[in-house]
């Protein structure tokens, strides 16, 4: 099996995707418990007001993310004309946006009690979900388009670091609870792996059909 940037993928990331979905469900069920609320309060006291981390929230804004996704689709079309890969980007980034918006309205957890707080709901954190999805999607697509090989590890490390900073920025601004952010990362990774599984599956089916047509 090749690394995550290839057309094949090891089983371990899939298993992790199942695990992170379980984590999301547990956080959904338990975010009103005293233990999770104590965890949220501790994270707030530790991180609130960190101006350096707060700046990273701009990388998780919806308009910016969709702009990047459109540019990524154009790059795929110009370089490979791989419409399945374009579909993967659309389902990962666009579908993930619709998923977390639906869950926010379904769960209806109020945001932290702040005077200038938004009127939208808190669980899961959209920045955490969407930030992970578009960054992981960029990393995967770039590795598919350019075959970075050794540089692939550096790309994925930078991706993970930026994902963490975008999510944590919502705690430093008191826009979300820490459990919202953890749930967002968990849901985002699970959705990314599901979209990736469908993409790789469709590639295998197409390859099989081509092989049959040649015989």
pLDDT tens for each residue of 85-116: 999 999 999 999 999 999 999 998 998 877 55
Q: What is the pLDDT of residue 146?
A: 83
Mean pLDDT for the stretch of residues 54-69: 94
Would the pTM count as exceeding 0.85? Answer: yes
Tally the domains of the chain: 1
**Residue 4 in domain:** no
Q: What is the pLDDT of residue 158?
A: 95
> What sections of 108-177 are H helices per DSSP?
126-146, 151-172
**Residue 129 in domain:** yes
**Residue 5 in domain:** no
Contact 170, 153 (CB under 8 A): no
Calculate the average pLDDT of the chain.
Answer: 89
**Residue 65 in domain:** yes
Q: What is the pLDDT of residue 145?
A: 86
pLDDT band (50, 70, 90) for residue 149: confident
Give the SS3 label for residue 147: coil
Which two three-digit tokens encode residue 171?
């705690």
Q: What is the pLDDT of residue 52?
A: 95
**Residue 71 in domain:** yes
pLDDT band (50, 70, 90) for residue 18: very high
Q: Which positions ≥6 away from 78 have C-beta within 8 Å?
A: none
CA dist., res. 133 & res. 66, Å (int):
11
With a cut of 80, say whether residue 162 has pLDDT above it. Answer: yes
CA dist., res. 202 & res. 93, Å (int):
18
**Residue 3 in domain:** no
Closest CA to 185 of 166, 172, 202: 166
Q: In terms of C-beta distances under 8 Å and separation of at least 24 residues, what long-range contacts does 6-13 make, across chains too?
A: 6/143, 6/144, 7/144, 7/200, 7/203, 8/200, 9/196, 9/200, 13/193
Higher pLDDT, 20 or 116: 20
Q: Kindly report the backbone phi and psi dihedral angles of residue 31, in degrees, each rounded to the nearest multiple of 5, phi listed first.
A: -65, -15
Which two three-digit tokens encode residue 147?
């075959």
By percentage, how much of the chain surpasses pLDDT 90? 72
Domain that residue 161 falls in: 11-202
Distances (CA, A) of 87 to 20, 136, 200, 206: 24, 15, 12, 14
pLDDT band (50, 70, 90) for residue 10: confident
CA dist., res. 175 & res. 120, Å (int):
10
pLDDT band (50, 70, 90) for residue 1: very low
With a cut of 90, say whether residue 120 has pLDDT above it. Answer: no
**Residue 2 in domain:** no
Q: What is the pLDDT of residue 2?
A: 39
CA dist., res. 58 & res. 42, Å (int):
25
With a cut of 60, say whether residue 178 has pLDDT above it. Answer: yes
Mean pLDDT for the stretch of residues 182-205: 92
CA dist., res. 19 & res. 176, Å (int):
23
**Residue 28 in domain:** yes
Mean pLDDT for the stretch of residues 20-41: 96
């Amino acid at each position: 099996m090749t690394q995550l940037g290839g057309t094949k993928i090891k089983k371990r990331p899939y298993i992790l995707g199942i695990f992170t979905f379980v984590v999301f469900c547990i956080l959904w069920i338990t975010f009103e418990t005293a233990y999770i609320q104590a965890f949220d309060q501790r994270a707030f006291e530790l991180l609130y007001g960190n101006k350096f981390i707060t700046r990273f929230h701009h990388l998780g804004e919806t308009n910016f993310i969709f702009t990047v996704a459109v540019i990524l689709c154009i790059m795929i079309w110009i370089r490979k004309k791989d419409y399945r890969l374009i579909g993967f980007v659309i389902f990962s980034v666009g579908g993930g946006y619709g998923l977390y918006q639906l869950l926010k309205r379904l769960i209806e957890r109020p945001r932290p009690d702040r005077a200038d707080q938004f009127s939208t709901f808190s669980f899961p954190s959209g920045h955490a979900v969407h930030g992970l999805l578009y960054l992981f999607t960029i990393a995967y697509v770039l590795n598919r388009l350019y075959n970075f090989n050794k540089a692939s590890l550096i790309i994925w490390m930078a991706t993970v670091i930026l994902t963490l900073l975008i999510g944590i920025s919502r705690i430093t601004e008191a826009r979300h609870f820490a459990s919202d952010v953890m749930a967002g990362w968990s849901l985002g990774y699970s959705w990314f792996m599901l979209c990736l599984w469908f993409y790789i599956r469709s590639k295998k089916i197409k390859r099989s059909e081509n092989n049959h047509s040649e015989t």
